[in-house]
Structure 1
Amino acid sequence: MTTTPATRRSFLTLALATPLAASALAACGSSGPGQASSGGATMWILTGQPGEGIRTDAVDTFNEANGDQEITLTAFQNDAYKAKIRTAIGADQAPTILPTWGGGGLRDYVRNGKVEDLTPFFEENADLKDKLFPSAFAAATVDGKIYAMPCEAVTPIVFYYNKKLFDQVGAQPPATWDDLMALVPVFKDAGIAPVSLGGQSRWTNMMWLEYLYDRIGGAELFQDIYDGEPDAWSRPESLDALTKVQDLVRAGGFVDGFASIAADSNADQALLYTDKAAMMLHGAWTYGSMKADGGDFVTGGHLGYMNFPTVTGGKGDPAATVGNPSGYYAVSATATDEAKAAAKAFLAEGLVTDATTDAWIAAGSVPIVVGSDSRFGDSEDADWLQFVYDLASGAPTFQQSWDQALSPTAADALLENIEKLFTLSTTPQQFADAMNATTGS
């Protein structure tokens, strides 16, 4: 996959850095840093291959065909981008087209009047909307209106397992949470860590809670948390999910010392492909790094993958998933009418094309394009790509990761309290109380 753990880490940092800045940027010429000198459209993208190349090629191709609506492109490294966009947004000098991860950050932009309502755009381009995974639009929608264009690739959170180790102990992958808990002593007795986890990174812990909340409380609980409903974090379903994850910790389900393992170093993945751990819950982006670093673990057919187990009696749909539904681009509300027109032309004609779809597939990613699986062809990763495609396109709900879906204040509190939850230094009720206190932030 194209997204490395370091890139994923940057996603999280960016998501927590979206509050609107009050300070203005120093002037960079008469047009400002977010505007083209000619008054045309500008677009900011993130560096890092292969995504940077795909994005650049898309803009170049559009500009060649639309000489009167050319887009000026600027690429930033992640840290530089997060600093620039905060000040640019606050100073009304944002680029015409800007990357966003939707969710809470986008909602802040909307409520401060910084991004364009794209609902009319999608009404005029219904064929384009129908071309994209319906599940990708939830994170782009605020108060019933669409404010960002879903694009690029989908990366759900996947339940991985080591087939060799399951064969070694004569076990089957867990279909339910009870099955998972029953496997813990089986693997421990065999001297194998049941579950690998890079707990020092905290957002890896979050994945377990997200799925448990979904499987136990269903999509409604997720939505109520996102909407800031009072006491949503302390509902019985919420407390049940919090209790279950601590049950797994107390049972020794996670590898010893998990709180000191960093996901950015890929140490959690290494435990899985070196046969030290039997299972791992992680993003789809880890497939590529395990293939590159794990010897024959992937190519030899030893890697298993599935959706998260069900929870008996839970309200959640077993086909639902969580993670990153897609990439997103918004249009600045303060851009000129001319620039907005060029930006929307690019979103309609240049952002999602056959060429970009093929490029994302060639890079090992699944585009959020309906029917793109017909292009997987004879790829050696075709089975994996099809799994991700089916998981994402068939999900009745695709819940966006909390650190992106929640407000920056709530997301920061979430990561802090998740660390305490997994180290058993706080109770489920204390966790719930702390998160309820962020409601409305």
Structure 2
Amino acid sequence: MIGKALSRRHLLGLTAGAGVAAALSACGSSGPGAGATATYWSLSGPPGEAARQAAIDRFNAANPDTKIAPQFFQNDPFKQKIKAAIGAGDAPTMIWGWGGGTLKAYAEAGQVDDLTDWFAQNPAVKNKLFPTSFGAATVDGKIWAMPHETVQPILLYWNKKVFEQVKAEPPQSWGDIMDLVPKFNAAGIAPFALGGQSRWTSMMWLELLLDRTAGSEVFDRVFAGEANAWSDPAVLDMLGKIQQLVAENGFIDGFSSITADSNADQALLYTGKAAMMVHGSWSYGIQESQGGDFVKNDGLGYMSFPPVDGGKGDPSNQVGNPGHYLSISSKATPEAKEVAKKFFSTVLLDDAEQNEWIKSGNVPIIQGSDKLYDTSPKGQFLKFCYDTSVNAKIFAQSWDQALSPTAATTLLENIAKLFQNQVSPQQWVDNMNAVIGK
């Protein structure tokens, strides 16, 4: 069971801390020793890899006597490699992740350092970050990771040109979604793009649909480790809706062999092969960088996931990533750990870091970053995501990150089977109940 400190309720308060900029220069210890190297593993691909590399380059240029050495991996390979490396006691100095259940497992196994005292000694660092980003970094009242990068809500995107072509309007309810499915299929356009081979993209559908159907309470009970918590009628209803959408050809043909890591699902949207897509806010930057003039010419529409007819969930509720997280390996040398902490307290909080993420179409996790947005289409998108996040009554962490690694693995396996009609809704529930609390 994940402790109370990992509450899923993330109402983002965004009041800037006073005197932060001046205080940051005093953060940290006396500094790392000359020649110290900290290793850093993270995700590859646009837009994140470029921003991460730029931060490392700025740090290395400003600290020529030390070094951060990065390696970048695609999403699924990264998860496998980092788990194996940590288990073998050969983790990188800085461990990139999403917090939640995986971080809890690392903390309980003594594989990452407790950063509670470091944050207490460096209040300017903590005060500059979204306060609620620390929920997924906290286990049993202690902080085990540095929140950084961006806040990422899950949105519903649509191709405006395709909608105009079939004379359709964006869906305002689940019923509208189901009504649009035959309309787009008749026009030879897939209703939804989906990188189903990656599984976590399919998970977004379950997260949002269950919330809109039943509110947050059902997954709260799962999260708390309550026995048979998945055996709620709302879960069976949600799973049935998903399989109905699949059966009515709601997704692109062959979706189960399409990978999100290659951004093939994104390409289906901006090329007009699919009308809509449910994906994270990072999708904007991908479509902007890879979709030619699609975003530039106002081809991309976006909105929060619509309500379910008769559902109990608040449409303002949000699901996604309340932040990203860097932990320090307990096996790293003292010198490497000091390099990491200096990186945390300087480059990751500077204006260049914020502007790098804004440039890529993302909302920095730093308070007051909305003041840096311009009035361009990208600025309008960022303001939408910022407001969506701050106004969400509940901002829930993605299920595969909130749950333990064991439960998350079972979750992703059964989601793939659900979309491929290899398990019934009741079998799905039974399989998931079996790993609650494990």
Question: Under a length normalisation based on structure 1, what TM-score does the superposition of the two structures give?
Answer: 0.80
Q: Distance in 1 between matches of 2:137 and 2:285?
A: 27
1:284 is the counterpart of 2:245: no
- Give the deviation of 1:305 after TM superposition: 0.4
| Cα drift, residue 372 of structure 1 | 1.0
Describe the shift of the 1:395–1:135 C-alpha distance in structure 2 as closer, same or farther (beyond 3 A).
farther
Output the CA distance in 2 between the equivalents of 1:340 and 1:266.
Answer: 34
Q: C-alpha separation between the residues in 2 aligned to 1:378 and 1:81?
A: 36
Q: Secondary structure at the match of 1:161?
A: strand
Alignment of 1:55 with 2:51, yes or no, is no
Superposed, 1:266-277 pairs within 5 Å as: 266-277=263-274
Residue of structure 2 in register with 1:239 after alignment: 236
Cα separation, 1, equivalents of 2:199 and 2:287: 21
Could you say which residue in structure 1 is the equivalent of 2:72?
77
Matching residue's letter, 2:168: A
Question: Where do 5+ consecutive residues of structure 1 fail to align?
Answer: 1-35, 65-69
Q: Shift of residue 151 of structure 1? A: 0.3
Which of 367, 371, 374 is 2:371 aligned to? 374
Q: Does 1:400 align with 2:397?
A: yes
Cα separation, 2, equivalents of 1:266 and 1:106 = 27
Question: 1:212 is matched by which residue type in structure 2?
Answer: L
Structure 2 residue identity aligned to 1:415: L
Q: Is the 8 A contact 2:38 2:339 kept in 1?
A: no
The change in CA–CA distance for 1:419 and 1:113 in structure 2 (over 3 A counts) is same
Alpha-carbon shift at residue 247 of structure 1 (Å): 2.1
**d(CA) in 1 for partners of 2:142, 2:260:** 36
Measure the CA separation in 2 of the matches of 1:377 and 1:405.
34
Deviation of 1:338 after TM superposition, in Å, equals 7.1
**What are the superposed Cα offsets for residues 331-352 of structure 1, whole Å, 9 maximum, x if unpaired?**
3445677765664454334421
User: What's 1:46 paired with?
Assistant: 42
- Structure 1 residues 108-147: aligned runs within 5 Å: 108-147=105-144
Q: Spell out, residue by residue over 1:8-55, the C-alpha distance to the aligned partner (whole angstroms, 9 max, x if none).
A: xxxxxxxxxxxxxxxxxxxxxxxxxxxx99796734243754134223
User: Given that residues 309 and 318 in structure 1 are in contact (C-alpha distance below 8 angstroms), is that contact kept between their aligned partners in structure 2?
Assistant: yes
**1:59 aligned partner, one-letter code:** F
Shift of 1:232: 1.8
Aligned to 1:257: 254
Pair 94,252 (structure 1): closer, same or farther in 2 beyond 3 Å: closer
Aligned: 1:163 with 2:160: yes
Relative to structure 1, is the Cα distance of residues 89 and 412 closer, same or farther in structure 2, using a 3 angstrom cutoff? closer
Partners of 2:91 and 2:398 lie apart in 1 by 25
**Amino acid of the residue matched to residue 46 of structure 1?**
S
Deviations 1:369-407 (A, max 9, x none): 122122123655222222222233433333222233322
The structure 1 residue matched to 2:151, chosen from 151, 154, 176, is 154
Are 1:196 and 1:258, in contact at CA under 8 Å, matched by a contact in 2?
A: yes
Q: Any idea what SS the aligned residue of 1:323 has?
A: strand
Q: 1:300: Cα distance to partner?
A: 1.3
Distance 2:264 2:57 in 1: 34
The DSSP-based 3-state class of the residue aligned with 1:216 is helix
Query: More displaced, 429-438 or 81-90?
Result: 81-90
Contact persistence 1:160–1:279 (CA under 8 A): yes
3-state DSSP of counterpart to 1:381: helix
Specify whether residues 221 and 437 from structure 1 end up closer, same or farther in structure 2 by C-alpha distance, changes over 3 A only: same
Between the aligned partners of 1:311 and 1:376, the Cα distance in structure 2 is 32
Are residues 83 and 244 of structure 1, via their aligned partners in 2, closer, same or farther at CA, if it must alter by over 3 Å? closer
Cα 1:91/1:38, change in 2 over 3 Å: farther
Residues 165-314 of structure 1 mapped to structure 2, 5 A cutoff: 165-314=162-311
1:431 aligns with 2:428: yes
Separation in structure 2 between the aligned mates of residue 334 and residue 222 of structure 1, nearest angstrom: 35
Cα distance in 2 for partners of 1:295, 1:341 equals 42
In structure 2, give the amino acid aligned to 1:300: N
Provide closer, same or farther for how the CA distance between residues 92 and 283 of structure 1 changes in structure 2, counting only shifts above 3 A.
Answer: same
Partners of 1:135 and 1:313 lie apart in 2 by 30
- How far 1:410 moved relative to its partner? 2.0
Q: Distance in 2 between matches of 1:84 and 1:248?
A: 34
Larger displacement relative to structure 2 (240-249 or 308-317): 308-317
Tell me how far apart the structure 1 counterparts of residues 142 and 216 of structure 2 sit (CA, whole Å): 19
What is the CA–CA distance in structure 1 between the aligned matches of 2:142 and 2:171, rounded to whole Å? 39
Displacement after TM superposition at 1:367 (Å) = 1.1
Contact 1:211 1:322 in 2 (8 A): yes
Q: Taking structure 1 as reference, are residues 205 and 435 closer, same or farther at Cα in structure 2, changes over 3 Å only?
A: same
Structure 2 residue aligned with 1:355? 352
Q: SS of the residue aligned with 2:113?
A: coil
| CA positional deviation for 1:421 | 0.9
Q: Which residue of 1 aligns with 2:326?
A: 329
With over 3 angstroms needed to count, the CA separation of the structure-2 counterparts of 1:308 and 1:52, relative to structure 1, is: same
Could you say if the C-alpha distance between residues 383 and 412 of structure 1 is closer, same or farther in structure 2, counting changes exceeding 3 Å? Answer: same
Where 2:298 maps in the other structure, the secondary structure is coil
Q: Aligned with 1:156: secondary structure? A: strand
Whole-Å Cα distance in 1 between the matches of residues 226 and 432 of structure 2? 11
Aligned length: 401
Q: Secondary structure at the match of 1:74?
A: strand
* Greater displacement, 418-427 / 40-49: 40-49
- Check conservation: 1:43, 1:71, Cα contact below 8 A: no
Change (3 A) 1:171 1:144: farther
Contact 1:39 1:339 in 2 (8 A): no
Question: Could you tell me how far apart the structure 1 residues matched to 2:253 and 2:56 are?
Answer: 44
